[in-house]
Amino acid sequence: MIELTTIIDGKALASDVEVDARERAKKLAKRGIVPGLATVLVGENPASQMYIRLKHSACSRVGIRSENVVLPPESTEIDLIARIQELNSRSDINGILLQLPLPRGLSPQRAMMTIRPEKDVDGFHPQNMGALLLGVELLVPCTPLGIIYALERLGKKLEGAEVVIVGHSNVVGKPLAAMMLNRNATVQVCHVFTGDLARHTRDAEILVVAAGVPGLIKKEMVKSGAYVFDVGINRVGDKTVGDVDFDKVSEVAAAITPVPGGVGPLTVAMLLRQTLQATENQNQNNPTD
């Protein structure tokens, strides 16, 4: 019997998340609450500008009010922190997202630490990251959350699953490893210093690749029946490609995300969920309940 590979349609999954998000926003609106998200962009990086546009248009589709704070590329850390503090103090802003990367000379860690943890919709504040490591998932990074969401929707059991993550960034690899451990998966995390990458990736029942290296993962590095999530976003000529050789790996994987249209839309959808979560948490004791 020929097993068909599932192409994980991130756009379709994201649109389901949006249906739910719209309902949650409506419930809040009935209580007179309009969820508010502020994005902060420093400089004029075209890719960052594009991601910001995608995030704002998703917000407008579900009833989240959003605004974009743009700082000039020459901004100092003092300027950036002052703007974040201003957003922290505003009651109409429930979530704050600092778009990365920052221009050279600005520390993302220090800026992230300024965001009030309850408004940290990207889950990068040390308090939220620390809680995640302790098994308490308050606000968590959106890309790993999107991957977990897709696996749940696919009905893939995580308890006892062999998970291999390629890439150990603070944004994807490390928080995803913690989320997988919280669900009792067995996790290996590989990175640029891993000696024999294929030896690890071949173990994976669930393989997540977030390296930013086009074509890094080839068919012979993937176990038959694996669930493959390609997080990478790379420009090659006029095309956007991931880190996985999609056509060949599709021949052995049970399920695989395309690039574009896989993990990217899920990441944006999870930002909506996190903004609603933050808004609901901040209004738990609202007298209009």
Which positions are annotated as active-site residues?
A: 55, 99, 122
User: At closest approach, how far in Å is the CB of 27 from ligand NAD?
Assistant: 28
Choice between 79 and 100, CB closer to ligand NAD: 100
Residues 190-209 that bind ligand NAD (CB under 6 A): 190-192, 194, 197
- Report the interhelical angle of 10-30 vs 142-153 (nearest 10°): 110
Residue of 11, 48, 162, 212 interacting with ligand NAD (CB under 6 A): 212
Residues between 228 and 247 that touch ligand NAD (CB under 6 A)? 231-234
Residue 246 buriedness (CB in 10 A; 0-12 / 13-18 / 19+): buried
Site string for ligand NAD, 134-173 (x = CB under 6 A): ---------x----------------------xxxx-xxx
Classify burial at 44, counting beta carbons within 10 Å of its beta carbon; exposed 0-12, middle 13-18, buried 19 or more.
exposed
Applying CB under 6 A, what is the total number of residues that bind ligand NAD? 25
- CA nearest 93: which of 174, 48, 24, 36? 36
Q: How far is the CB of 82 from ligand NAD (least distance, A)?
A: 27
Contact 201, 166 (CB under 8 A): yes
Q: Does 125 engage in binding with ligand NAD (CB under 6 A)? A: no
d(CA 184, CA 59): 33
Calculate helix-pair angle for 10-30, 263-282, nearest 10 degrees: 20
Rounded to 5 degrees, φ, ψ at 172 are -120, -65
Applying CB under 6 A, the residues found at the interface with ligand NAD are 143, 166-169, 171-173, 190-192, 194, 197, 210-213, 216, 231-234, 263-264, 267
